[in-house]
Amino acid sequence: MALLAPLLGAISDRMGRRKPWLAAIACVMSACCIALWFAMPGGQGGLPIWVILVLIVILATCFQFTEVFHNAMLPFIARAEQVGRLSGFGIAVGNLGTLTAMLVMLFGVALPASGVNIAGLLPDRPLFGLDPATYEHSRIAGPVAGVWFLIFIVPLLLWTPDRPSTGISPGRAIREGLAQVWITVKRARQLSNIGLYLLARMLYTDGKVAILAYSGIYAAGVFAWDLSALLLFALVLAPFSISGGFVGGWLDSRLGSKRTIQLSVGITCLGMIAAVSTTPTQILFFFPHDAAAAGPLWSFPYFRTLPEVVYLVTFMLLAMTITAAFCISRALMARIAPVSMMNQFFGLYALSGTATAFLGHMLVGFFTRIFESQRAGFASTVILLAAGLALMRWVREERAPEIAP
């Protein structure tokens, strides 16, 4: 990512069109997803572990490359005042697609494979005749993702406007792209506002990614939620993630991108404090809770205590604010990057969101070990959020000047 994302962006800026790059990357990703069907348990044949790991690295890297080109298309398919709304709508529809795919896999494949049937409504066996004995119900996730990706990228390729081709040959584009990256590095002082924003985004994005990664782990450790509870947790949060895209776009059109990011990150900080201050015996630090004396809230087998409900409701809010920050972050980048170098700067944008992705996980692990507490580890994400929020104070929402050769 560090080596290729900014360079690919600079090269595609020279060549003009973005959709051919997206089509090529989509084919690579789909092939890798479909190949994961052959990731079988030990002793059953299939791909070697190292091949599976290579496929996953290719998928993760290509996914970030698609983000570079998708994001760089935003300023060219929407007016400046509509960029935030379109970004939010895109995130919301993506989350809706995720929810749809997850529901089909859960109720059509995963639950039937485990013998669960809800009031006789589910099939007795997984869809497509999948054999749980050979883990086909798990392995099918790769091919489903690959086919899903190919199907839903077709409308973008057919009907989304693209920049015209500049007619520059690939060889010349590579040479000029390398030169442009070097010029950008040399003239970094002229782009200090973008650099400050990328640093702020790197910090609060690392915090948000860690929150998403550890919310279920924390709940399993503190509230003893099992797999079914965690699946329900994810399903309950999905509509709020979807609405976060719409809410973020609406706020962006009224407050601007910078203020919307500050608001969403600030609320996420407060929400995280509320989440880690709630345990089976305590709510928001100050209110003790006796589950035995209070009794269950209802007969439903999940989320039966008040602290669990408080934690769940807190993450409903966090799902909205985290999604809003994700979608408006790219809208702000689209507003401050030089127009002629949009792909290159979205390459740097992708880099700032992935190059230090280990930081949030490292911080959680460090605080968990030092204090021997999941609460302390999970709470450490607030440090990254607060640092990113503090830096956003000095970011200006204005277009950077073009960098001439």
pLDDT digits (tens, 9 = 90+) for 60-81: 889 888 877 887 787 778 777 7
CA distance 224 to 280: 10
**63, 26 in Cβ contact below 8 A?**
no
pLDDT attached to residue 312: 94
pLDDT attached to residue 187: 65
Write the pLDDT tens digit of every residue in 246-258: 899 899 989 999 9
Token pair 């959680």 in the structure block, residue: 364
Predicted TM-score (pTM) of the model is 0.75
Q: HSE (CB half, 13 Å, CA atoms) of 15?
A: 21
Q: Domain extents for the chain?
A: 5-163+171-392
pLDDT attached to residue 28: 96
Write the pLDDT tens digit of every residue in 139-175: 888 998 999 999 999 999 999 888 888 888 878 877 8
Contacts of 403 (CB under 8 A, 6+ apart): 180, 183, 184, 187, 190, 191, 338, 341
Contacts of 207 (CB under 8 A, 6+ apart): 268, 360, 381, 382, 383, 384, 385, 388
CA angle 338–77–85, rounded 5-degree value: 95
**371, 377 in Cβ contact below 8 A?**
yes
In words, the CATH class of domain 5-163+171-392 is mainly alpha
Assigned token pair, 385: 């959020």
Angle between helical axes of 192-223 and 381-392 (0-180°, round to 10): 160
- For the cut 90, the answer to whether the pLDDT of residue 41 exceeds it is no
CA 79 to chain centre: 25
Range 267-296 average pLDDT: 88
Token pair 């004396």 in the structure block, residue: 293
Longest dimension (CA), the chain: 75
pLDDT attached to residue 73: 82
Exposed, middle or buried by CB within 10 Å (0-12, 13-18, 19+), for 189?
exposed
Helix (H, G, I), strand (E, B) or coil at 287: strand
pLDDT attached to residue 190: 66
CA distance 310 to 286: 14
pLDDT attached to residue 353: 67
Assigned token pair, 376: 């302390």
CA distance 305 to 293: 11
| End-to-end Cα separation, the chain, in angstroms | 25
